[in-house]
Structure 1
Amino acid sequence: MRLPAVQSVLPAVLVGVDIVDADRLARAAGRGGAVFTDHLTTPAERELGVEEVAFSVKECFIKAVGGRPPGFTWHDFEARAGRPAAWTGRLLDEAAAELTASTGLTLTGGSSYAVRGACEQAALVRLAPREGRVAGAARWGMGSGLLVSLAIVYVDNEGDPGCPR
């Protein structure tokens, strides 16, 4: 019996989740001050005002790419203005609904992310054999003393028919 060929209609994605005590992050940021913030975020991210969630969101990305590869820097992930591609928004909405059901917290914040450097290379290894620009998107929410973050990493290849637009 011959099975029909299966075509992928969605691109491969890597997913990471982080749930952290918001007070713990606030204490770390208070102790580290501007040095902590500069180490963790880029000037562009500080202009976007995502410093408060940067550690948790970037931890999600680290989990998605499989850990901190040699050459890792916190700046391998950078929040960008603008919304992610429509299909990534739908995927994040679905995953965020699952997290909301589990935690009781609504993930209301979000951003597109550039993924570069050692983390881009690590993502490409895990997403092989795809080629293109590695990108990310994240959602987050705070409440009840927790910060819940969700991130996806994917290859954004506009010419890829498997990458819906």
Structure 2
Amino acid sequence: MSTPAVLLGVDIVAADRLAKAAERGGETFDRVMGGGGPTFSVKESFIKAVGGRPPGFTWHDFQETGNAPSGWAGRLLDEAAAELITSTGLALPGRAVFTVSGASRKAALVRLPPHEGLVSGAARWGHGSGLFVSLAIVFVRRKGNQ
């Protein structure tokens, strides 16, 4: 079995900057982001993982579907998170699994080797010291592999 290919993205943003964006975006920001700052930062880390906002992008390209990644994806995410925790000094207690759809799914498939399966994502995040920090991975979940 070959090693799965993974895309990685990190977002570190000042909390006051997110507060200003929420003020400017108002109801639209709240409706699209739901969870506020952490959600925005997590979705930004996914955008970085897939290589930017492709034509046709929407914030709904990344939707949370579960609590924690399992198998190799969970181990990889935890290993990468350990390095980010060390470098920022912040815990990353938030964790979830995401679907990657729409234009972002297409962008991810351009960067990943050809595989059949569901394009998935997993993220860890946390905040403190005036920062939001998030880490995301994007991968193809093949049947029988998690």
1:34 alignment partner, one of 20, 27, 30: 27
1:60 alignment partner, one of 45, 59, 71: 45
Q: How far did residue 85 of structure 1 move?
A: 2.6
Unaligned runs of 5+ in 2: none
Counterpart CA distance in 2 for 1:33 and 1:88 is: 35
Residue 12 (structure 1) aligned with residue 12 (structure 2)? no
RMSD (Å) for aligned C-alpha atoms: 1.5
State which structure, 1 or 2, has the greater radius of gyration over its C-alpha atoms.
1
Number of aligned residue pairs: 146
1:141 alignment partner, one of 109, 126, 130: 126
Counterpart CA distance in 1 for 2:20 and 2:78 is: 30
Match of 1:23 in 2: 16
What TM-score, normalized to structure 2?
Answer: 0.92
1:75 alignment partner, one of 60, 78, 89: 60
Counterpart CA distance in 1 for 2:8 and 2:66 is: 21
Q: How far did residue 31 of structure 1 move?
A: 3.4
What TM-score, normalized to structure 1?
Answer: 0.82
Unaligned runs of 5+ in 1: 1-6
Q: How far did residue 125 of structure 1 move?
A: 1.1
Q: How far did residue 21 of structure 1 move?
A: 0.1
1:24-67 residue CA offsets vs partner (Å, 9 max, x unmatched): 112221332222122x33xxxx4xxx333111111111111111
Counterpart CA distance in 2 for 1:79 and 1:52 is: 15
Moved over 4 A (4+): none
Q: How does 1:127-138 map to 2 (within 5 A)?
A: 127-138=112-123
Counterpart CA distance in 1 for 2:40 and 2:113 is: 27
Percent sequence identity is 64
Q: How far did residue 22 of structure 1 move?
A: 1.0
